[in-house]
Amino acid sequence: MSEALAQISVERIEEFTEEDLHALCEATDAAIIDGGGFGWLNPPGRLALENYFRGVLLVPERELFAARLNGSIVGSAHLVRPPRNNEAQAFAAHLMHAFVAPYARGHGLARALTLAVEERARSLGYHVLNLDVRETQEAAIRLYERLGYVRWGEHPAYARVAGQTIRGFYYHKMLKIPGGRRGKAEDRNGERPA
C-alpha cells in the first residue's frame, strides 16, 4: 500500500479489545523475529504476550501507546514514570520498549510514537525523557538523534544476542526550557509530576 494511502495514528491504550490485543501480539512477534523486540530474542508465545500487555495496563507508572496503520495496531511504546519514592528523579520519565512491526515501517509511525510519548510526558510536567537502545538498532538511533535526543553514554555489555555481546547507548532529551521557564505543556500548577 502506498504511503499516500496509508492512515497512521497513535493513541494511548487504557483497555484492549480482543482485536487490538491480537494485532499487538502479532506486531510484537514480527518485531521480535526481526530483531527489534524489546528484550525478547524469541517470541514468548501468545499467552505470555497477552499477559504481558494486560499487565502493562495495570502498572500505575506505565502508559502504553499504540501505533496504528489503517486502523490496526502495528507497534507500541511505553512511557514509564518514576515511582513516587524516587523524588530525586521525579522530573524525568523514560521512553521504553518502542517498536514498529517490520511490515508497517516506512510510514513515520516510529516518529509519531516517539512524539506522542514526548507530548504526554510534557503534559504531565516532566522535564527530561530518557531512553536506551542497542547499537544494532541503527534506524532507531538515527530517528532519536534527528528528534534531538543526546547520547550521553554507552554500556559495553548492554545485551547478549545470538551469542554476541552488544553495546547499548543512553539518550536524553530536555522537554522543559532551561532556566526554570515552563515548557508549553508543563504542569501549570507547579506541582510535582504524577
Q: At what angle do helices 18-33 and 46-56 cross, to 10 degrees?
A: 110
* CB distance 11 to 64 below 8 Å: no
Percent of the chain with pLDDT over 70: 88
**Of 71, 81, 65, which is closest to residue 11 (Cα–Cα)?**
65
In which band, very low, low, confident or very high, does the pLDDT at 162 lie, cut at 50, 70 and 90?
A: confident
d(CA 104, CA 118): 21
- Which is it for the CA torsion 12, 15, 17, 22, positive or negative? positive
**Of 88, 18, 147, 123, which is closest to residue 131 (Cα–Cα)?**
147
CA 102 from centre of chain = 16
Q: Average pLDDT of the chain?
A: 89
In sequence order, the β-bridge partners of residue 12 are 65
Domains of the chain from N-terminus onward: 8-128 (3.40.630.30)
Calculated CA dihedral for residues 185, 188, 192, 193, nearest 10 degrees: -30
Alpha helices in the chain (DSSP H): 18-33, 46-56, 109-123, 138-146
Cell 542497542 belongs to which residue?
Answer: 134
Q: Is the pLDDT of residue 12 over 70?
A: yes
Query: What is the pLDDT, as a whole number, of residue 179?
Result: 55
Q: Is the pLDDT of residue 125 over 60?
A: yes
The whole model's pTM is what?
Answer: 0.87
Cell 501549570 belongs to which residue?
Answer: 188
In which band, very low, low, confident or very high, does the pLDDT at 187 lie, cut at 50, 70 and 90?
A: very low
